[in-house]
Amino acid sequence: MARRKAFLASDDDEKTLSAPTMTRSRSQLGSAYAPGAFFTFESGLGACISIPDLSATVDDAPIGLETKAQIILRLQEVWQSWFARAYSVDASNRPIDPRQCLDEALLKGATVVPLASDRLAFLNPLRMGYAPAPLAFVCNKCRRFMRFESAAELAKDIDSLRRAKCTAPEAKSACQWRQVDVVFVHWSGEWMPATPGRWEWNNRSNEAWLHGETCTVCGGKDFKLNTDSPRIGQWHFYCANPTCGHKGSSEWRQNDRFTTEVLRERAGARIGERRMEPISYRASSAYYAQAEQFVLFPAMEHQLLALLEPQKQAELASFVGTKFRFGGAELKSDEMKDALLAAGKADEWESYERFSAMRDFARGMNDVSAQHVMEAEIQKLVTRWTTSDPPLVRPKVELPDAVVAQLTRRAEYTSRFDPFVLTVEHEALNRGKLSAAPDGGRSAFVRFNHLDHDLAPKNLAAKDAQEAETQRLMNKLGLADLGLIREFDLCRFTHGYTRVSATPTLEKRGQNMPVRLRLFEPLRNGKRPIYVITQANEALYARVEPRHVYAWLQEVGVCDLPAWDADGSPLLGGRLLEVAQPFGRYFSLLKEADASAYRYVYTLLHTYAHVLMKNVAELSGLDMGSMGEYIFPLDFAFVVYRNGTTMDLGNLSSLWRNENNRFLSRLLAPSVHRCNSGRLCDTAGGACPDCVMIPETSCIAQNQLLSRAVLKGGPAPREDATHKGQRIRGFLEVINESDGH
C-alpha cells in the first residue's frame, strides 16, 4: 500500500519534494525497503527508490537510554571494523582513499570518528518515503531514449513525454514509453540510470564530466537505446539523427562519478576501479541493508551492559573470572556477609539467606525444579555483588594468561562472535528469563522436562509420563536444558547500506576492492536515521551438556583441546575461552586450519540450531525465513526464535503442546541428518541448501561453520585441515555410545 501525494516542483534540493510514503511491515521497512533500496509495488509497474521519510514529525523508536547505549556501542564497533577491513586492501601501487571505505560523515582523514547520539535519530520504521527511479525511459517501438534529472523535472515535462510522436515505421501514434529497468551500480554505494555519456575526469576544469552526451559525429543530443540483446552488457546507445545513427560502442559502460572524483588525475589509469555494473534494479546486488542485532538487557541488569564499555576491562575480567570459576578461593558465606553488612546492604544478605533456606527446603522435598530456580537466584545475587560498580563483594579471581590475552585482542572479534559479549548477553538472558520464578501458572522459561501449569497436560499422570520421556530423549540428544522462552527480547537495527557486495571487500578483475559503507541520508533535522525494531517473541532455548561436548572433542581429536576436570574448576566454557579464535567480522579469518576446539564447538551449536529450525518448520506453521538464531558458544547454548514483528500466534508453544516428544524423537531420526545431494554434499563439507543451510536472512553466521558430520558423523568440515579426507565421529554417535543408549 502507498499513500500517494503529488510531487511538488522546487528549484532547491530534491529532498524538499513532498514525497509519498509507503506502508509495509516494520520489518520490511527496516530492511528490504530501507533508504536506497529499489523496488516496485504489487502491480510491477514503475521502479522506485526508498528515501527517508522527511516529514516534520518523526516516529521515534520506543527504546530507553540503555538500549540506545547498546546500539551506539555496536555501531562504533561496526564502523571501526568495517573501515579496518576495507582499508586493508591499500597498496603502494594502488593507494586507497579512506572515503572509498566508509561514509565521509564518519571520517576525519584516515581516522574513524563515530557519530555521537545527538547526531543520530533512532526511528521506529513505520513510514518510508519513495520516489520514482530510475528516471530513464525508452520507447518500445522507435527506441527513443529520454532521461530526467529529478522527479520535479519529470513532473514538469510529463505532458511532452506523453505527446512525443513515435518515429517507428509501423507507429501511428505517440511513443510507447517504458522505464529502463536497468541501473548501473558501484561498490562505492553509488548508482546511475542509463545515460549515453560516461563520467571522466577533466584536468582542465578540474572536475568530473559526462563525456559523450552529444554525438561525436553530428553533435546531436538525442539518442536511441538498443535493448535487443538478452545480455544487458551488450545494450548500446546510438545517435537518433536518421542521417547519422553513429554508435559509440558495442558495449554498454558507465564509470562511477564518486570514484572518479576521488581518484581525479589517476582516474584514467585506474579504470577498472571506476567501472560500474549494469544490472536489473530487482537484483539483490543493487542493495544490501546493513543491520545488527543483540539481546536486550532486562531493566534491572543494566550494570551488565556497562561491562562491555572499553573502560570497564577490569570489571569484565572480574565477571569472567567469577562466572567461569577461575582461580582464587571460593567466596565463603561469612566473607560475603561481612562485606555486605560493612557496605550497609543487610537487605541483600537477608535475600541470600531466604533463597538458601528455600533451596534447602526444595532439596529436602526432592523438588528438582524449585531447587534449580533457587540456586539460580543465589548465583544471580553473588554475580551481581561481584560485578557491580564498584563491587559489593570482591571476587577472588586470578585469570590465566591466555584469558588475559583474549581480553587484549577483543578488537579482532566482532560483536556477534565476541565470546565476551556473548557471555555477558547469556548472563542477562539467564537472569531475566531462564531463572525467573513462575508468575502464576506461567513461567518466563518453561523447561520441557519440568513443565509449568500452562504448558503441561492437565492429567498429572500424563504430565509425569511426558516429562520422563522428554528427559530420556534429552539425554539421547545430549541436552542439559531445553525449553520455551515465552518472550525472547531482541533488538535489531539497520544503520546503512552497501551495493554490489554485503562485505567490506570484494574481488573484481583479479584485485580486491574496498566496499563503501554508506549511512542513510539525513532527515530534516540533520540527524542520520537508525531504524530500530524490538521484539519479544517465543523462542526455543537449548543448552548442550558440557561433559558430552568434551568427550566428543576428545573423540574428534582437536589439536588444542585444553585439560579439564568436570568435577572441578574452572568450567569448560572458561577453558574454551583460553583457546578461542576470532573468525573475523565477515569471516575473513576463517581459513582452513588445524582442528580447533572453539571452531568445532561453534560448528556443533550452529548445526544443531539449524537442524532444530528445520524440525520446527516441518511441524509448525513457521517457515525457515520467519525464524532466527542466536549462539552462545562458551555457555554451550543456542536460541531459535520466531523472527517477526507481527502478532505472535504462539506457534512454538502450540508445537510443543501438539507434538512434544515426537518433535524431539525426530531429531534422532537418520533422515533428518541426511542430504539429498549425498556424496556431493559430503565432499563439500557436509552442508548445502538441501540439508542444513537456511536462508541467509535467518542465519547469524552466513551459513558458515556448518556440517552434518558434527552431529551424526561423516567427512570432516571444510575448515578442518587436520582430518581432511577423513571421517569424524558425530556428537550424537559419541554420547549415545558412552551412555549405553
Decide: 182 and 194 in contact? Cβ < 8 Å: yes
List average pLDDT for each run of 10 residues in the chain, which is 741 residues long.
38 54 86 92 79 90 90 91 90 91 96 94 94 92 92 88 87 88 94 93 92 90 90 89 84 91 92 92 90 83 81 86 78 84 87 90 84 84 76 78 89 86 92 79 89 91 95 96 93 95 88 95 95 93 97 96 89 95 78 93 97 93 88 97 76 92 94 84 86 87 92 92 92 80 45
- SS3 label, residue 139: strand
Instruction: For residue 453, give every residue at least 6 positions away whose Cβ sits within 8 Å of its Cβ, in sequence order, or none.
Output: 440, 441, 442
Instruction: Give CA angle at 701 (697, 707), nearest 5°.
Output: 110
Q: Identify the DSSP state of 290.
A: E
Can you give the three-state secondary structure of 495-537, one letter per residue?
EEEECCCCCCEEEECCEEEECCEEECCCCCCCCEEEEEEEEEE
Exposed/middle/buried for residue 669 (C-beta within 10 Å: 0-12, 13-18, 19+): exposed
Per-residue pLDDT, 682: 82
Which H or E run contains 191? strand 191-192
Closest by CA to 88, choosing from 591, 704, 589, 590, is 589
User: In the sheet where 277-280 sits, what is the strand order?
Assistant: 191-192, 182-185, 277-280
Instruction: For residue 689, give every residue at least 6 positions away whose Cβ sits within 8 Å of its Cβ, in sequence order, or none.
Output: none
CA-CA distance, 519 to 104, in Å (whole number)? Answer: 9
Instruction: Give rounded-to-5 percent helix, strand, coil for the chain.
Output: 35, 20, 40
Other C-beta atoms within 10 Å of 670: how many?
7
DSSP letters spanning 67-100: HHHHHHHHHHHHHHHHHHHHHTT-BTTB---GGG
Per-residue pLDDT, 647: 67
Decide: 274 and 192 in contact? Cβ < 8 Å: no
Per-residue pLDDT, 9: 37
Other C-beta atoms within 10 Å of 366: how many?
8
CA-CA distance, 566 to 552, in Å (whole number)? Answer: 14
CA-CA distance, 313 to 319, in Å (whole number)? Answer: 10
Decide: 705 and 590 in contact? Cβ < 8 Å: yes
Per-residue pLDDT, 439: 67
Q: How far is CA 511 from the centre of its chain?
A: 27
613: left (phi over 0), alpha (psi -120 to 50) or beta: alpha
Per-residue pLDDT, 215: 92
DSSP letters spanning 547-615: HHHHHHHHHHT-TTPPP--TTSSS-HHHHHHHT-----TTSTT--SBS--HHHHHHHHHHHHHHHHHHH
CA-CA distance, 25 to 39, in Å (whole number)? Answer: 15
Per-residue pLDDT, 645: 66
Cell of 269: 589509469
